[in-house]
Amino acid sequence: MNDFENTVKTALNDEVDEQVGPRRTPPAFDATRSAARRSGGAAGSRWLRPLLAAAAVVAVAIGATAAVDAISNTQRVAPATPRPGPTPTPAPAQTVTPPAPSTPPPATTTSPTQSPVAPSRATSTTWTTYHNGRYGFSAQIPAELTAGPPPTDGAGLTYRSTDGHTEETVSASAAPAGATATSQGAEYATQLSRRGELTYTNVDVTAKTFTVSGYLYGGTYVEYVRGVVGSQSVYLLVWTYPTSQRSTADAWVQHSVATFQPGPL
Amino acid sequence: MIRRVDGTVIAIIVRTASDRTFDELYQQLWWPMHRVATGLADEVSVAEDVVQDAFVATFERWGMIRDRQSAVGYLRAAVENGSRSVLRRRRTARRYRQFVVDEAVDTADHSVLRIAERGRVLEAMRTLPDRQREVITLRYVAELSDADIAQATGLSQGGVRSASSGALAALRTTLGGQV
């Protein structure tokens, strides 16, 4: 995106932001509101057909699922893409706890492929190390996550849980001209605040790192972005996971951030 | 969360699985759809109605929608169509509406300059054909891909790219060196 497009984008989003104000939760959904306004009556007859159709679909689905379970005990296939958790909750008031500051990484191999690492004491999780030869960075991945597609905006890889809800993306890309941890942190903070609720930002100028965190989808998901900004490259560690799974995922985030090894700065 | 006119057994069965998914979709997408509709319709109260109508339309077809991705696509198209209808209805009124910008006269304060710049961009946007303006809004406000914009607008992906490049070229011409 060039400067002109950025100007257009900023102008449009500023205008929208000014009009809509700060993010708010949706009003209670009222399925009768629009239908009543359009035709002013006969709601029962309008509802009967879609309700019957929906009921038929659900009944068939429930019946089929029960039959399959009873006959074969086969494991259901998890969705491939993240979906919201089963019980959406309003965005909690507390901020997402930032992970511990960087600590000396454990001894890991830097082979181009993944290699197993001893289980973490904190999480009892077995970790593998992802190493990117092109940019020279490495990151640890919980064994529970499996490799998915590469990110669209850089070199790296996305790892997902089997249920598709939790993601860890490790990536690197060329640093924009003049990029600093402050400017990149501000950019990611702006992006997150547009998509959800920004709850935490931090920039460490000395370490050239920034941290941005917040909630997506009405508080049902946490997004955590850790960036390291070098003169040539930006290294990113991005986590997305359901709020309901924070007890597990927060520990993963802390470990992965503490052991994240950027390439040349 | 969802109020219904029918309290029948059928409705109760539907609630066990289908409603939960619809509720999740509503919770997730209401805000982004609200922003996009505001960008397209240029008025918050109208955007709220457009989004409400779109969700109701989606809800009414919920039993026939295959999966979540289809639901999202249907919802986007409904928002885009609803916004377009609103604009058609008030096109005449808009023609005479004047956008007022607080021009920076005595100060070079960044925020003032940015507001002035925004005003010029918005004015230029209003000179675009509907399709081009929709594509630009979906691309830069909703941050949709060409494929998603194509699905929402009914254009081909090539048509989306063409509309986008045409719009940007027109904006450049209109704005000249002003931004």
pLDDT in tens, B89-136: 765 444 443 333 333 333 445 556 667 778 888 889 988 988 899 999
Separation in Å, CA of A90 to nearest CA in chain B: 9
Q: Is A16 helix (H, G, I), strand (E, B) or coil?
A: helix
Choose among A19, A56, A218: nearest Cβ to B44. A19
Terminal-to-terminal C-alpha distance of chain B: 46
A51:B64 CB<8 A: no
What is the CA angle A238-A240-A245, rounded to 5?
135
Contact A175, A240 (CB under 8 A): no
B39:A16 CB<8 A: yes
* pTM, two decimal places: 0.42
Kind of pairing between the strands at A197-204 and A167-174: unpaired
In this prediction, residue B97 carries a pLDDT of 36
ipTM over 0.85? The verdict is: no
CB of A195 less than 8 A from some CB of B: yes
pLDDT in tens, B29-84: 999 999 999 888 877 888 888 999 899 888 877 777 777 788 888 888 889 888 88
Band (A57; pLDDT cuts 50, 70, 90): low
d(C-alpha B155, C-alpha B163), whole Å: 9
Choose among A12, A16, A33: nearest Cβ to B52. A33
B3:A31 CB<8 A: yes
Query: Mean per-residue pLDDT for B144-166?
Result: 90
Query: What is the DSSP code string of A17-71?
Result: HHHH-S--PPPPPBHHHHHHHHH-S-HHHHHHHHHHHHHHHHHHHHHHHHHHHHH
Question: Which residue would you say has higher pLDDT here, A76 or A130?
Answer: A130
d(C-alpha A258, C-alpha B163), whole Å: 46
B17:A61 CB<8 A: yes
Interface contacts A/B by beta carbons within 8 Å: 156
Which range, A39-43, A53-57, A113-117, B48-52, is most confident? B48-52
Band (A24; pLDDT cuts 50, 70, 90): confident
d(C-alpha B132, C-alpha B34), whole Å: 20
To probe the interface with B, which of A16, A187, A240 has the most B CB atoms within 10 Å? A16
